[in-house]
Amino acid sequence: MTALTLSTAAVPGLRADAIVVGVAKGGKGPVVAPGAEAVDQAYDGKLADVLGTLGASGAEGEVTKLPAPAGFKAPVVVAVGLGALPNKDETFGAESLRRAAGVAARTLAGAKKAAFALPIEDAADAGAIAEGALLGAYSFDAYKEIGKNAKNGKAPLGEVALLGGKPRDAAFKAAVARATAVCEELNRARDLINTPPNDLNPEAFAAGAQAAAEEHGMQVEVLDVEALEEGGYGGILGVGAGSAAGPRLVKLTYTHEAATKHLAYVGKGITYDSGGISLKPAGHNETMKCDMSGAAAVFAAVVAAARLGLEVNVTGWLALAENMPSGSATRPGDVLRMYSGKTVEVLNTDAEGRLVLADALWAASAEQPDAIVDVATLTGAMVLALGSRTYGIMANDDAFRSAVHEAAEEAGEAAWPMPLPDHLKKGMESPTADIANMGERAGGGLVAGLFLREFVGEGITWAHLDIAGPAFNEGGPFGYTPKGGTGTAVRTLVRLAELTAAGDLG
């Protein structure tokens, strides 16, 4: 991954492939953002004019490249838009810094080193810019053979020096170290999501979790098909029944000796969702390798919590299965006996996520954690409701739902609260079993949430994040978000763990 350092080097003599500066949208044209004073001076204080002449406005996402001034060792100056100039006495928001840094890092793919002269007021700003740079530089080319060793191949930007930070200040060092740990794990989650489903089946995913547990001194337990049968995990087994690659339930445990709180994170890990016997039509299955994004986010967040040494216990549950049609697959009409003992009539085998999550939620509940948060690419309905960049938050506790929403906002992840209207439960009544895995079409995302709620232990605080929209970016890259797997929810989960460790949550 891109290396990141805090630097106090003077700009003119700095050896780098590019110097990045920020430009904001002012009332009368582009305004050079703080942090780039030395660069502006080298243009005789006319950098804003030069940028204006080149057509720059300072809008978010905008990139303007210009030759560096005489006397600079670096050949190019890259100006990235920061969006609207903040009001007097206000500074640039963390998300606008993240996005600008992300755009710069992506633009500079192929370069060895860049110096970022972006506005930094405090350690938090440095952390935001670090996050944007590390996430924006990401690319997935594990499967690209052509041009792999070409001289001008676009390898991710090699190194970023953050100018204007304080390299010897503990808060700045901590902010950069935190960003590095979180973003390395988040990028690993993106790798898992982008890995084709013929290479990432439940067994392979579980092996990855085992390796990470070993590396970071965590406990890990993998239930294979035999253990799942023994334990009575009918939901996970039912979903995995059609695949030649059997399902797994992974329990990854991070503990801190001084912790007083315990969080359980539960992730949907369908390594490929064909729909099963209720097969998805062409046009709806090409991106369904992303259906393990929830499990990838949980995995990344637990490892990040361990790397950060947070004073909280975090258990990650990865419910892994491949949803395939075959002679051994679960049929629409089958009844599954779930781990909780409840029976479920499977009316649609494409509503499989709630089945694997139900078993994992019940398993997580048995440990009586202080809260459970599940993460899942659960419903197309949530994509229709909130679009492709915002995830939905449902919960059995209003205050907890708000706390999760706040954590998401602090982390820079777009989310929105959604209700769990009781009347929608009626649609899931089954003539045969305790409940059906489908209900009314209208409000399908909420119906799925209501189904999950049935499998949360009595009295346990729970939230459900439906990330079906933002988990996988089918459009072009933007800000620090690449095409493909995004790693959505990792930063929310890490933030929640931090808040819990600090005693600021529940």
Which residues are known to be catalytic?
Answer: 280, 354
Identify which of residues 17 and 350 has a Cβ nearer to Mn ion in the complex.
Answer: 350
The candidate with the shortest Cα–Cα distance to 36, out of 18, 54, 53, is 18
The whole-angstrom separation of Cα 97 and Cα 86 is 12
Count, residues near ligand BES per rule CB under 6 A? 16
Q: Does 351 participate in binding ligand BES (rule CB under 6 A)? A: yes
Bridge partners of residue 495, in order along the sequence: none
Residues 349-368 that bind Zn ion (CB under 5 A): 353
**What sign has the CA pseudo-torsion 469, 470, 474, 475?**
positive
Which listed residue (81, 119, 136, 353) binds ligand BES by CB under 6 A?
Answer: 353
Residues 6+ apart with CB under 8 A from 239: 247, 270, 276, 321, 323, 330, 349, 352, 355, 356
The whole-angstrom separation of Cα 180 and Cα 73 is 28
Which of the ranges 102-110, 179-187, 345-353, 422-430 carries the binding residues for ligand BES, by CB under 6 A? 345-353
Bridge partners of residue 394, in order along the sequence: 464
Q: Does 273 participate in binding Mn ion (rule CB under 5 A)? A: yes
In 345-391, alpha helices (H): 353-365, 380-386
DSSP E strand stretches across 110-247: 113-117, 159-163, 219-223
The whole-angstrom separation of Cα 132 and Cα 20 is 13
Which of the ranges 106-114, 262-270, 385-393, 465-473 carries the binding residues for Zn ion, by CB under 5 A? 262-270
Q: What minimum distance in Å lies between the beta carbon of 234 and Zn ion?
A: 18
Length of the chain: 506
DSSP 155-178: PPP-EEEEETS-TT-HHHHHHHHH
Which listed residue (23, 372, 383, 465) binds ligand BES by CB under 6 A?
Answer: 383
Q: Does 157 participate in binding ligand BES (rule CB under 6 A)? A: no
Q: What CA–CA distances, in Å, run from 241 to 112, 229, 271, 437?
A: 48, 12, 14, 17
380 binds, among ligand BES, Zn ion, Mn ion, none (CB under 5 to 8 A by kind): ligand BES
The whole-angstrom separation of Cα 106 and Cα 411 is 21
The whole-angstrom separation of Cα 290 and Cα 323 is 13
Identify which of residues 353 and 479 has a Cβ nearer to Zn ion in the complex.
Answer: 353
Which listed residue (125, 291, 466, 498) binds Zn ion by CB under 5 A?
Answer: 291
- Helix and strand numbers (H, E) in the chain are 14, 20
Which listed residue (95, 345, 350, 466) binds Mn ion by CB under 5 A?
Answer: 350
CA 138 to chain centre: 13
Identify which of residues 103 and 378 has a Cβ nearer to Zn ion in the complex.
Answer: 378
Q: Does 454 participate in binding Mn ion (rule CB under 5 A)? A: no
The whole-angstrom separation of Cα 464 and Cα 449 is 7
Q: Does 355 participate in binding ligand BES (rule CB under 6 A)? A: no
Q: Does 311 participate in binding Mn ion (rule CB under 5 A)? A: no
Identify which of residues 14 and 351 has a Cβ nearer to Mn ion in the complex.
Answer: 351
Which of the ranges 93-101, 166-174, 230-238, 345-353 carries the binding residues for Mn ion, by CB under 5 A? 345-353
The candidate with the shortest Cα–Cα distance to 253, out of 359, 405, 369, is 369
Q: Does 444 participate in binding ligand BES (rule CB under 6 A)? A: yes
Which listed residue (131, 273, 359, 413) binds Zn ion by CB under 5 A?
Answer: 273
Q: Does 466 participate in binding Mn ion (rule CB under 5 A)? A: no
CA 194 to chain centre: 13
Q: What minimum distance in Å lies between the beta carbon of 411 and ligand BES?
A: 21
Which of the ranges 103-111, 140-148, 367-375, 379-387 carries the binding residues for ligand BES, by CB under 6 A? 379-387
Residues 457-486 that bind ligand BES (CB under 6 A): 468
Which of the ranges 112-120, 180-188, 265-273, 457-465 carries the binding residues for Mn ion, by CB under 5 A? 265-273
Residues 250-279 that bind ligand BES (CB under 6 A): 273
The whole-angstrom separation of Cα 259 and Cα 252 is 17
Identify which of residues 22 and 275 has a Cβ nearer to Mn ion in the complex.
Answer: 275
Count, residues near Zn ion per rule CB under 5 A? 4
* Phi, psi for residue 115 in degrees, rounded to 5: -110, 130
Q: Where along the sequence are the contacts to ligand BES (CB under 6 A)?
A: 273, 291, 348, 350-353, 377-381, 383, 438, 444, 468
Q: Where along the sequence are the contacts to Mn ion (CB under 5 A)?
A: 273, 350, 352
